[in-house]
Each structure stands twice: as structure tokens, then as C-alpha cells.
Structure 1
Amino acid sequence: MYRRPRLAALAAGVLLTAGVGSTVPASAAPPRTAASGAAPATAVVTNARWGGHGSFDRIVIDLRNSRPHVSVRSVPVLPYDGTGRKVPLAGKHFLEIRLSPAVAHNDAGHSVYRGPKLLKVHLPVLKGLALTGDFEGYVTFGAAFDSKPLHKTTRLHSPERVVIDVRHPPAGCGA
């Protein structure tokens, strides 16, 4: 006698669950990888490098595992993540480069990042580069410049990396 109401309640629960799952927008679902169908692993930041070119200076951040969200913004001062202490880079203008979700350490807490932690650079526009944080799923870098940086951010693949190109000022403009 009590079997039918239980079956009806179970069927209603299954239908409601299926209906709720099908109404979640695709943008709310975690991204999937093509190979496994699972959410991608956190990006691992392994290196940062730089170079001067004819009309721009370039910063390259090497990655493993996935492509994190990248934000590059001008900031008045560069703080170390977690402490807020000022990063000792000489310059008048700064870019904060933030990657997330990302880490620069392994599961045991040991650094896997092999690039510079704090470095003075002698390029036409880039004057310094620092790893300013590897904290709570964010890896942050700071870059120092004498003049306001005009930059373009690009993602390159095979291997994964983030590239920030900073344009040299036009000739005769004075930095």
C-alpha cells in the first residue's frame, strides 16, 4: 500500500534532479578538457623570461597543465602578495600580472618556479621583473618601467605560455 507513494516520490525526485541539472547554463559549468572530459588542472608557473626586440620588450611566463585566467593592469606600487610589503623594483610605472588558478609550487609546497624572484633588467622599457606572489591559487608578477607601459597580452600554445609585449616609445618622444 505504501509502495506507490514512495515510487511516485522517488520518480518526482529523479525528474526534478534531471530538470535542475539541464537548466544550468553552460557558462556556469566548469571548463572541460577535450581528452578527459574533466575540469582542467591548475596551471603551474615554471619560469619567466624577457627579451628586447626592435620596437618592444617582451615578458614570457611559461606554464604547465592548463591556461589560467590572466589579468595585466597598471598599478601605482607593487606589493608582495600575503604581506603587502613593497617590492623593491626601481621604476615610476608598474604592471601587475596575475594568473589564476595557478601555482608556482608542488603539492609538498616546494617551489617549481625556476625564473627570477627579483631582477633588475636593462632593456629600453622594461627595468625590472619580480615574482610577487604564489598565494591561494594566484601567481603574481610585477614589472617596472620608467615610462607608462603600452602593452599587449597574448597566449601562445605548445608549450603553454603568456606573452606581454610592451611597446617602445616612438622615436623623438622621450621616455
Structure 2
Amino acid sequence: MQKIYAWLAAIVLAAGLGLVVPGPATAAPYCGITWGSLDKSNSLMTSAPIAAVRAGQHDCYDRLVIDIGGKGAGYNVRYVDAVYAQGSGRVVPLKGGAFLSVTAAAPGSGIVGNDVVTVAGYQTFREVVYAGSLENRTTFGLGVRARLPFEVFTLDGPGGASRLVIDVAHYW
């Protein structure tokens, strides 16, 4: 009988010291990404036109790059219920579970066609479409798999050009 009491006392003591019950679990951010999904903007303006739009895949995110033919362009990137065409205001059809409206403060002369970049097979991106250019502001619709964290930044170069970069994480 004393052995039973000794075992019960050991179990109660272990539970009291936290040896039996694990502590709360904490998860690290996905790939170290700490971005959010709120609107991001910068009010810089440029008269340099958009030179190209391209996309790439990375281990933790998909990337959209808007090449500007001059120094720095401002931007407004945000999740929306629908992307609207510049000027007409019509809804731009877009594939995906969530939509980012990407407006670059740069003219978009020379951009032709609706589907700007082919993103078939991308983990997060579903479609990139041109939504028009008006008064030195050019809008693209970026269809993504779901409302995921994203970051936006600009890079100088190459030469006198610059780039507007939008990264969208694969997961939260």
C-alpha cells in the first residue's frame, strides 16, 4: 500500500512541476515571414513609363516585378473585392480566391493585352491582368490563391531604372 502512495505522490509532484503537462505551443512564422495583409502605399510620383512586368517563383513566396524606365515610382497595393479598370470603372475579371489591386504611380503606355504575365503553375499567383492607365497611374489586378501576407518595396537599378516589387507569401 505504501508503494501505491509513493507512486501517486510522485505523479502529483511531476504534474505540479510541469513535467507531465506540456506548455503552450508557439509556432514560428512561415519562412520567417512577418508581413501582413493590410494596404501598403508610397506617394512618390514619376513620369517614367512602365517598361515591363514579370513574375517569378521563390521557395516561400511568388514575386511580381514592375520595371520602371526611371527612378522610383509610388504605389498603392491592397486587397479588394474586385479590381476596377482605370477610366471606365468596369470590373476586371480575375482568377483567384482573393484579389490585389496594384497601382503604380507611373504611366503604362505600351502595355498591350489583358493577361500581362503568365503565372500558370505558380503556388500563390493565379492571374496578372492589366486594368488600365490614367493620369500617370497604372493598375494591375493580381489574383492570388487566398488572402495571404504580402510586402511591397522598390529597388533602384539597373542603371537609371527602378523596380516595384510585390511578394505574396505561399502561406501564413
Aligned length: 124
Matched with 2:133 is 134
1:64 is matched with which residue? Answer: 69
Could you say which structure has the larger radius of gyration?
2
CA distance in 2, matches of 1:134, 1:83: 11
What's 2:15 paired with? Answer: none
Q: Distance in 2 between matches of 1:41 and 1:54?
A: 32
8 Å CA contact retained: 1:42, 1:66: no
| Structure 1 residues 120 and 89, CA gap change in structure 2 (3 angstroms) | farther
Deviations 1:51-108 (A, max 9, x none): 11111000000001231211111111011111122212111211111122x1122xxx
Tell me which stretches of 4 or more aligned residues in structure 1 moved more than 6 Å. none
Q: Structure 1: which 5+ residue stretches go unaligned?
A: 1-30, 32-39, 106-110, 171-175
> Cα offset for 1:41?
5.3
RMSD, aligned CA? 2.0
Contact kept? 1:70, 1:97, Cα under 8 Å = yes
Distance across 1 between alignment mates of 2:139 and 2:74: 12
Matched ranges for 1:46-125 at <5 A? 46-100=51-105, 102-105=106-109, 111=110, 113=111, 117-118=114-115, 121-122=119-120, 123-125=122-124
2:85 aligns to what SS in structure 1? coil
Paired residue type of 2:124: V
AA aligned opposite 1:66: K
Per-residue CA distance 1:113-160 (angstroms, 9 max, x = gap): 37x631552210100001111112211111001211310011111121
Larger relative contact order (C-alpha < 8 A, sep ≥ 6)? 2
**Length-normalised TM-score, structure 1:** 0.65
TM-score using structure 2 length: 0.66
Match of 2:164 in 1: 162
CA contact (8 A) 2:75 2:102 kept: yes
Q: Which moved more, 1:120-129 or 1:56-65?
A: 120-129
